Amino acid sequence: MSARFSFSTPPTLRLGVLCVGSLALLAVAAGLLRPGDPMAMVGPRGLWPLTDGAFPLGTDQLGRDVAAQLLFGARVSLAVGVGAAAVATLIGVGLGAVAGYFGGVADQLLSRLCDYVQTLPSFLLSMVLVAVLAPSIGSVMLAIGLTSWPEIARLTRAEVLRIRNADWVLAARTMGLGHGHILLNHVLPNGIAPVVAMIAAVVAHAVLVEAALAFLGLGDPNLVSWGAMIGNARPLLRTLWYLMALPGLAIFATVMAFTLLGNGLSERLDPREASR
């Protein structure tokens, strides 16, 4: 298995795994790399990056360590991204599998529901849900997840439609196995690969939406967020532009990392690539 991974894994997937793994490691080690409260005022105000060894990325307008805020902000972005993707995956895979396997009324209902959800502006719907539930990391995860599932549901439905009449599925039905058993043990394991690749794209989308919500003041006020950092530094764009540039670069790097991971997984799990 290791040799196969080394020689047949697409370079995009290797780079994506490396970038996402590095980001996750930095987020986990944030407390060790920059101990203390990232929101505490610990230095002189407006210190530029690379001018003081104690604060390698400088300080903000209140004297807070920018490096600490970036590291702890990575925790929030990853938590929201993974949590929202989990919610979207549970809903999308569940509904898509049922619609694709049974067809008929279930398929029609799912198609209409997906159309209705996708008609609504997803970001505005996320804003409304977060405002109603009160801004917190949990409400942000739930809001993004509830607006991101239709794409996963449609892809799952298409894969299940392709597989449901395969020989091994028909054999399982002939043996008298229940529909739930067939779905969980025969259909989904053979059609989940494209969905796995899409989950990485959902995480990237969730990171962007969380940053936008935090920028508008709808993030968790008790946690450091890259979007909130950009929003707080907006009045200082002319004088302390690095306060917006650094979290912006962090968001860009995170989204690109998960985009690379998703593209790499799509290449790696493509049956045509696997057959080569």
Whether 107 and 99 have beta carbons less than 8 Å apart is answered as: yes
272 pLDDT more than 60: no
What pLDDT was estimated at residue 8? 63
Whether 35 and 56 have beta carbons less than 8 Å apart is answered as: no
pLDDT band at 270 (very low <50, low <70, confident <90, very high): low
Q: For the chain, what is the largest distance between any 2 Cα atoms, rounded to a whole number of angstroms?
A: 74
Tell me the mean pLDDT in the region 184-189.
81
What pLDDT was estimated at residue 102? 87
Whether 203 and 265 have beta carbons less than 8 Å apart is answered as: no
Looking at the whole model, is its pTM more than 0.95? no
What pLDDT was estimated at residue 274? 46
What pLDDT was estimated at residue 19? 94
Task: Decide: helix, strand or coil at residue 231.
Answer: helix
271 pLDDT more than 60: no
pLDDT band at 20 (very low <50, low <70, confident <90, very high): very high
Whether 123 and 209 have beta carbons less than 8 Å apart is answered as: yes
220 pLDDT more than 60: yes
Q: What are phi and psi of 120, to 5 degrees?
A: -75, 140
What mean pLDDT is reported for the chain? 87
Q: Give, as one character, the DSSP assignment of residue 103.
A: -
Tokens of 142: 């739930």
What pLDDT was estimated at residue 26? 94
pLDDT digit string (tens) for 161-176?
888 888 777 887 788 7
Q: How far is residue 168's CA from residue 166's CA, in Å, rounded to a whole number?
A: 6
How large is the C-alpha radius of gyration of the chain? Answer: 22
Q: How far is residue 65's CA from residue 75's CA, in Å, rounded to a whole number?
A: 16
Residue 134: CB partners within 8 Å, gap ≥ 6?
A: none
Tokens of 173: 């039905």
pLDDT digit string (tens) for 201-214?
999 999 999 999 99
Task: Decide: helix, strand or coil at residue 41.
Answer: strand
